[in-house]
Amino acid sequence: MKRAVTVTLPAPHDAEIKCPICEGNRCKVCNMTGKITFTLNPKIPIQRAHIIKYVHENLNEVAFELTRMFGLIPDIDVKDVVVIGDGQYEIVQVSSIGGACWIVNRLDSLEAPKYFRTWKELENFKEENV
């Protein structure tokens, strides 16, 4: 039988117990209340599919919080080095939460880089210069 994949997350919870020390005899631990209050940090399992569904349904809020907490961290990756026409080009993809763009740099001679906002524009450039 296949089990659901779960993620264990902290779930802070306030708890109160009877003071085990004093029983009302000048206790400095509970300040003569007879009770000790503290916060537990139990770990609860949550199915990963529920987390993914939540992120999908609240992507704008999650993206805003990620940017607010950690800043915008783009992912930069060299996708390919190709020969187009008479030159050799490097295709660099810059991805972030908001989408992706591609920068094409010519490697074999000095030329201004070309920027593409959609994959279709990049494909058109490659086809036009074959």
pLDDT digits (tens, 9 = 90+) for 97-124: 778 899 999 988 888 999 999 989 988 9
Count how many domains the chain has.
Answer: 2
Q: Which range of residues forms the domain containing residue 47?
A: 6-57
Would you say residue 24 has pLDDT above 60?
A: no
Residue 43 lies in a domain: yes
85 and 42 part of one domain = no
Residue 14 lies in a domain: yes
**DSSP state, residue 3:** P
pLDDT digits (tens, 9 = 90+) for 70-100: 877 778 889 888 888 888 999 999 988 778 8
